[in-house]
Amino acid sequence: MKQVLDIPAELTGVQNWVLSGLVQVTDEIERALNSEVPAVAELCKQVEQFRGKMLRPTLVLVSGASCGISIEEPPPAELLRLAAVVEMVHMATLVHDDVLDEAEIRRRAQTINDKAGNESAVLLGDYLIAASFRLCASLSDPEPSRLIGKVSMELCEGELLQLQNRDNLSIDEPTYYEILEGKTAALVGACTRLGSRAGGGDEKVQNAMDSFGRAIGVAFQVQDDLLDLLGNEEVVGKSLGRDLKKGKLTLPLIHHLASLQPESRAASLTFLEEASETRGNGAPANTKQLIEALRSTGSLDYSRASAESLIGRAKDALTVLGIGPARSVLELLADAVLTRDR
């Protein structure tokens, strides 16, 4: 969590509780992936190098604390297990995503597909999914297994919808959001729902926490689109080019193209493609032209406002909770979505 946000002194209690919990979550994952087949064990070791900020387990833990789990005691076993489950589902999607994207590097480590081949990567992803379901089914509450099964289906639906809309330059906003709901928001919503459920939150609280999670999940992706363009001027052309090359439109582009008359849309697309193609070694003039085009239609402000509005809605959902340090941490995590630089 340290990596996710700077935390005020009065919230360090929650922070330390989460950090100690995450260590145990890591152990739990390692145990769940344990295999007597040496080839499998080796691949699992490799995949653990991709471990990032563990945002999803963090959300499970803090949601639990926000709904009544005491931070005076170590996190209960069932909460830790839930946190491990959502991270394992996430890891599985990363491994298969890298196959789909033919990615070679993730978090400075070689991807499974690049190191061991597509076949191993497909099978390892399957192994991770199976292990996460198995761990989830070991809980005394059957509800998480049902939800994780449902959410995993939504994940695939989101990815398949995205695939179907590849090269669809007239993709509209509802479809864009439908993709994000599936591929990102559903699992993040499950994190906050399951954490609050484990904490004893009733149906109303669980629904509100699900909305909170989904909203920050979508905002995270919208912010990702903006970071691709603005995060680092030196790579903007390249990023934009990569997305266009993959036939994947981001929110600023969708808004930009939708704002233009049909006649100028084709010209604008060609311009965008050419501009990104000629980038290469970072002539700032081109970068500025790209940003200028998006700015002329207000598409950057529009996307930024969309992300902010989602974070606003997310924090509104939290009013169902009593005021307390865990809720404050959830609010900070939501704000951090807008201020993060990757």
- The DSSP secondary structure of 134-193, one letter per residue, reads HHHHTSS-SHHHHHHHHHHHHHHHHHHHHHHTTT-TT--HHHHHHHHIIIIIHHHHHHHH
What 3-state class would DSSP assign to 296?
A: helix
Q: Which stretch binds a second copy (CB under 8 A): 31-39, 62-70, 221-229, 296-304?
A: 31-39
Whether the CB-CB separation of 194 and 60 falls below 8 Å is answered with yes
Residues sharing a CB contact under 8 Å with residue 180, sequence separation 6 or more, in sequence order: 158, 217, 218, 221, 222
What are the beta bridge partners of residue 105? Answer: 110
Stretch that binds a second copy, among 127-135, 200-208, 252-260, 276-284 (CB under 8 A): 127-135
Residue 45 makes contact with a second copy by CB under 8 A? no
CA distance 254 to 259: 9
User: Helices 186-198 & 77-101, crossing angle to 10 degrees?
Assistant: 170
What is the smallest separation between the CB atom of 125 and a second copy, expressed in angstroms?
Answer: 7
Q: Is 39 in the site for a second copy (CB under 8 A)?
A: yes
The one among 157, 273, 308, 335 contacting a second copy by CB under 8 A? 157
Binding mask 48-87 for a second copy (x = CB under 8 A): ----------------------------------------
Asked if 246 touches a second copy (CB under 8 A), the answer is no
Q: Does 124 bind a second copy (CB under 8 A)?
A: yes
According to CB under 8 A, which residues from 179 to 238 bind a second copy? 182
- For residues 144, 190, 182 and 114, what is the CA-based torsion angle, rounded to 10 degrees? -80
For residue 96 the two structure tokens come to 């298969």
Residue 130 binding a second copy, by CB under 8 A: yes
DSSP letter assigned to residue 9: G
Q: How far, in Å, CA of 260 to CA of 298, rounded?
A: 11
Q: Nearest distance from residue 47's CB to a second copy, in Å?
A: 13
Is residue 170 at the binding interface for a second copy, with CB under 8 A as the rule? Answer: no
CB of 185 to a second copy, least distance (A): 15
Comparison of 25 and 33: residue with beta carbon closer to a second copy = 33
* Site string (263-302) toward a second copy, x via CB under 8 A: ----------------------------------------
Which residue type, as a one-letter code, is found at position 274? E
Q: Is 114 in the site for a second copy (CB under 8 A)?
A: no
- Kindly state the DSSP code that residue 130 receives in the 8-state scheme: H
Is 161 among the residues that bind a second copy (CB under 8 A)?
A: yes
Token pair for 118: 């597509």
Which of 24, 56, 84, 127 binds a second copy (CB under 8 A)? It is: 127
User: Judged by CB, which is closer to a second copy: 157, or 273?
Assistant: 157
Cα–Cα dist 157/13, whole Å: 39
Read off the tokens for 151: 């959410």
State the nearest-atom distance from the C-beta of 269 to a second copy, in Å.
Answer: 24
CA 33 to chain centre: 22
CB count in 10 Å sphere of residue 64: 32
Region near a second copy per CB under 8 A, out of 16-24, 130-138, 270-278, 328-336: 130-138
Q: Pick from 56, 81, 90, 96 the residue near a second copy by CB under 8 A.
A: 96
Of the residues 2, 31, 115, 146, which one makes contact with a second copy according to CB under 8 A? 146
Q: Rounded distance, CA 216 to CA 213, Å?
A: 5
Candidates 5, 18, 69, 99; binder of a second copy (CB under 8 A) is 99
Which residues would be at the binding site for a second copy (CB under 8 A)?
A: 35, 37, 39-40, 43, 92, 96, 99-100, 118-120, 122-127, 129-131, 133-138, 142, 145-146, 148-150, 152-153, 155-157, 159-161, 163-164, 182
